[in-house]
Structure 1
Amino acid sequence: MLLVRPPGVYRVQEDTSLLHAVLRRRGQVAGRSVLDVGSGTGALGIETFRAGAASLTAIDLSRRSVLASWLNSRLRGIPATVLRGDLFAPVAPRRFDLVLANPPYVPADGPPPRHRMARCWDAGPDGRLLLDRICAGASSVISDDGALLLVQSGLADEQATLDRLAVAGLVPEVLARARIPFGPVLRARAPALRARGLLGPDQVEEELVVIEARHG
C-alpha cells in the first residue's frame, strides 16, 4: 500500500505487518467501530475499513501523523475521524468494538524526545511508558463485546502487559509471535541493552507479540 508519510512519521514496519496479519486471520471487523490509537500513517485503520468496518477513528499525538492519517484515508475515500491528542483522551467517554495499538516500546536511556523521529519508538527505560497507560485505560474504551489488539516487543516485558491488562479487568491472550532481526535502532542500542541485561550476549533478533484483551 502506497502511503503519504511526512518526515517524522513512523513507517509501516514488521510490527504493523504482524498486527495486520492478525486482523486478516481473526476477521470480526465487518460492521464494527474501530479506534486506531497512535495511528501514524493510518495504515492499520485503512485496512480495517477495507475489511468492512462501520466507522474509523484515528488518534495520534504528532501533528504530522494526524495529517498523514487524514490524507491517506481521504485519498482512499475513507471518512475517518482523525483526532490529535493523548491516547484515549480525545474520545472519552465513547467505546469502540475494536481498538488497535502499535505504541512506542523500545527501551531508552531517557524520556522520549519531543521533536525527533525517536519519539516513534522510544518508550522510557523499560519500554513501557505508553504500554502501561494503554493497559490501564483500554477497558474504558472497549465496548462490552469488543477487543483491544496491541503489538509490542518482548524487550518491553510481555508478561507485564498481560498482568496489567488482567488487573484492569480484561482477559488477555497472546494471538501471534514473530522473530525479526534487529533493525538500525536496536543494532545501535544493543551494547547498552546488553549491559542492562535486556538482551542476551548473542541475541540479534527481537520477538514481536500481538496481544488481544477483552472484557471478562
Structure 2
Amino acid sequence: MTTTAAPPVDLGRLWTLPGVYAPQADTHLLARALQAEGPAAGMDVLDVCTGSGALALLAARSGARVSAIDISRRAVLTTRLNAARAGHRVRVLRGDLTGPVLGRRFHLIVSNPPYVPAPQVRRVRAHGPEVAWDAGLCGRQALDRICAHAHDALHPNGVLLLVHSGLCGAEETLARLTASGLRAAVTSRSSVPFGPVMTARLPWLRARGLLGPRDDTEELVVIRAERP
C-alpha cells in the first residue's frame, strides 16, 4: 500500500459544465490506480459516477471498451462532449450507479462516488451541484450500494477500484466488499487539505466526532476489490 500525496495524472484537456465535478485530488489518486491495472484493448471497463468523464477517457486511451454512468444530466453531456473532443469512443449512460448496465459484467470498474457526509439525508437526485458530493449522514449513501452490486457486475478475476474519504470508514467498505464475495484491500492513501465543502461543514463534522478539533486534512483511500 502506498501513502502519498499523489502527483497529478495527465488527464488531457477536459471541459466541465457548471455544477459538474471537475477532476480533483481523489480523481488523480484513482487515475493512478487505474493506470496500474493496465486497461487494454478487449477489456470492458465501467466508470460509475463519471462526472467529467476523466477516468473513462483515461481507460479509453488504451483501446478498452468503456461505458460511463452518471445520474446528472450535465455530467452525461460533459462526458459525451469530452469524449468527442478527445476522439475516444465512450458509451455514456444516464442513471443511478450500475442500474443502466444491470446484467452486464466488466473486467474493470472504477468509481469516485459522492462520499461527503451531509447534515441531511436527501433523496437521490439528478440535479444540483451537491449531487456530486453529498452522501448522507455517514457519507455512505452511494458507497454501500456500490459494495452490494459490484460482485455481480464483475467478470471472474474482474477488479473494482473505489476511492472515498477516510471519514466514511475504509474498514466498513472492506467488510462489505468481503461479505459480498470479493477480495478487498486498501491499496493507497493520500492526505489532502480540506476543500470548500468540507471546510464549510467542519463545525458539524467535529460535533459528530468525524473530525478532531485539530484535524486540518482529509485522508483519501483507494480500495481494490477482485472477484475470485
Task: Provide the residue aligned with 2:143 in structure 1.
Answer: 131
- Tell me the SS of whatever aligns to 2:186: strand
Task: Provide the residue aligned with 2:214 in structure 1.
Answer: 202
Task: Provide the residue aligned with 2:60 in structure 1.
Answer: 49
CA offset digits 1:85-141 (Å, max 9, x no partner): 111111110100000100000000112474321111110000000000000000111
Residue segments in structure 2 that go unaligned for 5+ positions in a row:
1-11
1:27-46 to 2 correspondences below 5 Å: 27-46=38-57
Distance 2:24 2:51 in 1: 11
CA contact (8 A) 1:106 1:121 kept: yes
Task: Provide the residue aligned with 1:163 in structure 2.
Answer: 175
Task: Provide the residue aligned with 1:17 in structure 2.
Answer: 28
Amino acid across the alignment from 1:139: H
- Tell me the SS of whatever aligns to 2:201: helix
Report the Cα offset of residue 165 of structure 1: 0.4
Task: Provide the residue aligned with 2:77 in structure 1.
Answer: 67
Aligned match for 1:181, one of 177, 190, 193? 193
Distance 1:98 1:189 in 2: 34
Amino acid across the alignment from 1:92: L
Distance 2:34 2:97 in 1: 21
Report the Cα offset of residue 30 of structure 1: 4.4
CA offset digits 1:59-96 (Å, max 9, x no partner): 11111111011111111111111111111111110100
Structure 1 stretch 69-78 or stretch 135-144: which is displaced more? 69-78
CA contact (8 A) 2:34 2:110 kept: no
Task: Provide the residue aligned with 2:97 in structure 1.
Answer: 87
Amino acid across the alignment from 2:196: P
Distance 1:18 1:80 in 2: 22
- 1:190–1:29 CA distance, 2 compared to 1 (3 A): farther
Task: Provide the residue aligned with 1:120 in structure 2.
Answer: 132
User: Any runs of at least 4 consecutive aligned residues in structure 1 with deviations exceeding 4 A, and if so which?
Assistant: none
Q: How many residues are aligned here?
A: 215
Report the Cα offset of residue 28 of structure 1: 4.5
Distance 1:31 1:177 in 2: 30
Residue segments in structure 1 that go unaligned for 5+ positions in a row:
none
Q: What TM-score comes out, normalization by structure 1 length?
A: 0.96
CA contact (8 A) 2:161 2:224 kept: yes
**Residue 190 of structure 1 pairs with residue 202 of structure 2:** yes
- Tell me the SS of whatever aligns to 1:78: coil
Q: CA RMSD in A?
A: 1.3
CA offset digits 1:10-41 (Å, max 9, x no partner): 01000000001122233254431100011111
Distance 2:135 2:63 in 1: 33
Task: Provide the residue aligned with 2:9 in structure 1.
Answer: none
